[in-house]
Amino acid sequence: MTLVNTHTIADEESLKKILKFIHQNKGLDLHSYRDNFLYRRLRLRMQTTKVLGAYEYIGLLEKSPEEYALFLDALSINVTEFFRDPDVFEAFKKNVLAGLITRKAASDFRSLRIWSSACASGEEAYSLAILIKEELKDNRHLVVKILATDIDAQALEKAKKAAYPLKELKKIPRDILKKYFTTVDSETYYLTDEIKQMVKFQQHNIFHTPGFKNIDVIFCRNIMIYLSRQQMIELFKKFHQLLNPGGFLVLGKVESLWERALFIPVDLRAKIYQKASLIEKE
């Protein structure tokens, strides 16, 4: 029996060819992620599928949408769910949202603008829309705009459809499910138009500046763990520039804030921070 050494057939040059194919044919640009992280995940998929080299794996990606989905799962990019980490949403509601709505309603600029970065198939953005809708109650004078972005075009298409199997809605309270979802059968639930219309989806690389200004809140959860320290620092500086004075940044629960001079902790357990008031020299 011949044993195949995947480290030989999957050297860095071969892996770069696979990543180039994914970029050109799937529209997924992964250059911002750490090379070692990407290479480990690719080698794992190649080993699991028992391909003999880069070109064979590229062929598998071409003919098998399922393998592409498994590759994304291996990256953990599309691992998401409604109200993921419920305590974070509760803390955001208590420590940020209520005050924001009050201030916005009393000001001349009655627009609440939120960026859900790396939104995958939309669950986080829609969770925010539902949370805000509930908190607004009868306040119809505040315009809510949620920009949800991701590098994965296929995930965004799923997000736009806003159709989810019941098993993916396990963290949604029954009254909220009944209020904001409809169903034509017992298997698939569809978000109502009033929630869908609050969210705009756009393909976007997180390192590029979005066409979205005057941002009040940025959700960037569970993406920093894939980046180098220098890349994280660059992102924190960009977020600081994009946020309105006193704006908020929400990170993943296992992530750390490196640029502490730029943000003030609001809730360290929930990883909620507020933009520090600095004389910006960027």
Question: What is the mean pLDDT for each group of 10 consecutive residues in the chain (282 residues)?
Answer: 44 88 78 78 90 91 84 68 92 95 83 92 95 85 92 87 90 92 88 96 85 91 79 90 95 84 94 82 42
- pTM of the predicted model, to two decimals? 0.77
Cα distance between residue 69 and residue 64, in whole Å: 9
Can you give the pLDDT at residue 78?
57
Cα distance between residue 238 and residue 220, in whole Å: 12
Tell which residue, 153, 165, 71, 87, has the closest CA to residue 119.
Answer: 153
Cα distance between residue 242 and residue 91, in whole Å: 23
Angle between helices 98-106 and 123-136 (to 10 degrees): 60
Can you give the pLDDT at residue 175?
94
Strand ranges inside the chain, DSSP E: 111-116, 143-150, 163-165, 181-183, 188-191, 199-203, 215-220, 243-251, 263-267, 272-275
Can you give the pLDDT at residue 97?
96
Which domains are present in the chain? Answer: 6-75 (1.10.155), 86-275 (3.40.50.150)
Can you give the pLDDT at residue 180?
96
Strand ranges inside 17-90, DSSP E: none
Tell which residue, 277, 279, 271, 270, has the closest CA to residue 245.
Answer: 277
Can you give the pLDDT at residue 281?
42
Can you give the pLDDT at residue 122?
93
**What does DSSP assign to residue 225?**
G
